[in-house]
Structure 1
Amino acid sequence: MAENRLAAALERFAAATRGADEAALDRPWAWGAYDDEGVRFAFFRTYEELRELAARIAHERQAQGRAPSAAQRILAQYHSAYRDLWAAVDGLGDEEAAVAPAPDEWPVRTAVAHMIEADAGFLVVISHALERHRAGDPDPPAPGEAVYDEMLGSEESHRRQMALPLSSLRAWHAELHGRILAEFAAIADGELQLGSRYWEPEPMSLRFRLHRLESHLRQHTVQADTTQAASGRAPDET
C-alpha cells in the first residue's frame, strides 16, 4: 500500500536523523535558493511536502465526489495520535522503557501497553455493537468473553502480548491499528449515533467511542512524555 511505503520512508528518515547534534544540523544543505539554514531545513521541506500531499489528496477526493465521511475524519485524527505516540518514544530502548521514574509511576512500556490494550478493547466494543445493530438488535449488550477471545485471541495470549518489550509492542499495535482503520472506515454517518455498551452503566454512541480512540492515546502520550522528561530524556531538536 502507498501509505505503508510512505510510513516506511518516514521511519527511515527518522532513523537516519535521530539524535543529530547542532553541528550535524548546521552542515550545508541546499534546496534551490534556500541554502543558508543547513541540514535543519531538510526537516521543514519534508514537512512541507507531506502537507502538500495531504492537501492534494483531499482536493482530489473532493473533486471526485469522494470526500471523507465523518467516521473517516475521526479515524484520521486517531491515526495522527498513533503516529505522534510512536514518534514520542522513537529511539527509546527496551531497557530504558521498562524503568519507572518513581516507585508509584508507570514506566513508558507500561503506559504504551495500556494504550494498546485500550485500543484492543475499543476494537471489540465497536465491532460488536456494529455487528449487532446491523443484524437488527436495537440495544446490543456489552461483548462477552467469547467475543473478545474470537477477535483478540485467548486470555493467555493476551497476557503474553501485554508483557512484550516496547520494540515488540510496536508491531502488535501496528496490527491492531490497521484493523481499526480498515474495519471502521465504512461506518456510515447515520450509524455514529448508535449505542454501544462497555463498562459504563449506560450505552455510549459510536461517535464517542471513535473519538475516544484518539483522546485516550493523547492522554497517555502526555504521560509517556512526562515520564521520559522525569528520567532525563527530554526531546532534542530532531
Structure 2
Amino acid sequence: MDPFAYRLVSSLARAVAAARHGRALHPAGRTFTATLDPLPGAPRLGVPALDGPAGRPVVVRLSRALSLPPPLPDGLGLALRIPGGGDPGDLDLLFTTGGRPPAPPWLPYPVLDFAAGFYSTLLPYRSRLGRVRLLAVPVDRRRRLSGDPGRVAAVPAAVPAGAAPAGPLEFVLGLDGAVRAPLARLRLHGPVPPGEEVAAFDPIRNAHPGLRPTGAVQRARAAAYAGSQQGRSAAGRKG
C-alpha cells in the first residue's frame, strides 16, 4: 500500500473512532473467558498456541460490526486473544461472519445470531502450510442464544458452562485454503469481571512469525487499526 492510501485509510478510521468515542468498527461487544483445545490429528501450524496443550485459557470478544439495531442483521465479530501466544506477546485473531459454503468465506455476511454465524478471518495468512484463512464454526449451528437474536446484552446469560438447556457456547476453529482441516475447539465460559474487558485487539501487532497477515488488504487493515486507535485516544483526551 502506497503512503497516500495508507494515510487516507488511517485518517478515515481515526475520524470514525473519534466521532464514536470508541472503535471505528465493532464498537458494541462483550468479553468472555474461554479455553482452547487442539483437536487430535489436527495439522501443525508451527504456532505453539494453536498446536497445544489442551485447556489453554484465552479471551473472546463477541461484537457487532456496525452496531445496527437488532433485529437488523449485522456482521458479527469473534475476536480471540491467546495470552502469550505471539512472538513476543499475545496472539490476536479476528473473525467476522462470512459466507457459508459454497459462498466464499472471504465475503462479509450479516447474520442475526452469534450462535448461527459462519465466522472467517476473511483475509489470508501466510503459514508453513501455505496461504490459509482461519474459520470459526459454532458446534451447534441450530442453536439460538435468546429470543432477542444478535443483541450483545443478551449474550452473557447464554454462554456460561453448563447453562441450561444447551450448555456452553462452543466453536470449532479450522483452516481454509491450502489445507482444509479442523484445528481446535473453543469453549466460552462466561463474561469477564467488570473493568477487565480487553481494550483492543490488534491482529497486526499481536501476531506470530508462523502465522502472518499477508496481502495488500491486510496492509489496509493495519492502517485502519492504527487510525482507529489514534481516534479513540484523541476522543479520550477531549473527554
Question: TM-score with structure 1 length normalisation?
Answer: 0.25
Greater share of helix: 1
Greater share of strand: 2
Tell me which structure has the larger Cα radius of gyration: 1
